[in-house]
Amino acid sequence: MTRHFLDIDDLSCAELDEVLVLAAQPAATAPPLLAGRGAALVFEKPSLRTRSSTEIAVVALGGHPVYIQGPEVGIDTRETAEDVARTLACYHALICARVLDHQVLVRMAAALDEHDGGIDAPPNGGVPLVNLLSDRAHPCQVIADLLTLRQVFGDLGGRTLAYVGDANNVWRSLALGAAMVGMRVRTAAPDGYGPDADDLARVARLGGEIEVTEDAAEAVAGADAIYTDVWTSMGQEEEAELRRKAFSGFAVDDALLAGAAPGAVVLHCLPAHRGEEISAAVIDGPRSRVWQQAANRMHAMRGLLGWLLAEAGAAKVAP
């Protein structure tokens, strides 16, 4: 069965380690697994980092990225998500998508699996699907985050990650990914914006240690890494004012960081809003690793795509 990547725990802990090892290797050594082949990149939401890093990762693997905006495709308006997936599999060795609704990815993956090797299979059957962010998850981001933390700390086992902010898509993948590499996770969010019981159970199933609090200082106390994300995610713009009020007191600033471990670093998936979830002094200050983290998006994608293509049997001839 073709391996898809809809969230970080679609990989085993050992597989995540393999991806991280690949991601740490120089781009020049990447095998040309996509030579003469295409990668479809569908975006239903805006992107700066994910689009560019994925395009360049595809090029590093010898392939040709084709950027497709949501309205051009009209997932479930112009045609079904399943037919979009089946069609793209006729031309591409890889399908990557940023979607409004995570369920769309689940349906696309199922459609690709149905056709995997079937009589009416698209010529490129066995095409991996990669989540470039959904309302539920952002696993490609988290590979870059873990790569960055490994570069800073080496082995991450026993280190503490404090996430301050909305327990949304980035948080969900991050909490899972951190648990998979043996980090302790602490989450601070205001009432109503924290993890739900399913989220916590999922982390626990991976053997992860997770603490949830409504006190940001408690989460950050002694932590090795402090992570935040925007208070208002793409698609939630109408809630911006409400969220600004709800999250006041959850800004990552110098006062909050005073309680962190002496060598603590700060990460942010970006885009950042200075003066809201993070102060300018912190994001532009000495603890910040956000540009290393942003650069790692490209290395992480090269590692992930290389791993998925190798799994999919990259030796297939170009269509």
Which residues in this chain contact ligand CP in the complex, by CB under 6 A?
47-50, 133, 141, 269-270
Name the binder of 48 from ligand NVA, ligand CP, none, CB < 5-8 A by kind: ligand CP
With CB atoms as reference, the residue minimizing the distance to ligand NVA is 233
- Is the distance from CB of 4 to CB of 96 less than 8 angstroms? no
Q: For residue 110, what are its two tokens? A: 């199922």
Q: Is 287 a catalytic residue?
A: no
For tokens 């988290």, what's the residue?
142
Q: Is 297 a catalytic residue?
A: yes
Out of 59, 221, 234, 261, point to the residue binding ligand NVA (CB under 6 A).
234
Classify residue 24 by burial, with Cβ atoms within 10 Å: 0-12, 13-18, 19+: middle
- Is the distance from CB of 191 to CB of 164 less than 8 angstroms? no
- Least CB distance from residue 45 to ligand NVA, whole Å? 7
Q: Is 229 a catalytic residue?
A: yes
- Least CB distance from residue 94 to ligand NVA, whole Å? 21
Site string for ligand NVA, 85-124 (x = CB under 6 A): ----------------------------------------
199 contact partners, CB below 8 Å, separation of at least 6: 167, 172, 175
What count of other Cβ atoms lies within 10 Å of the Cβ of residue 253?
16
Classify residue 267 by burial, with Cβ atoms within 10 Å: 0-12, 13-18, 19+: buried
- Least CB distance from residue 173 to ligand CP, whole Å? 11
Our finding on whether 9 is near ligand NVA (CB under 6 A) is no
Out of 10, 44, 55, 229, point to the residue binding ligand NVA (CB under 6 A).
229
Catalytic residues: 98, 138, 141, 229, 269, 297
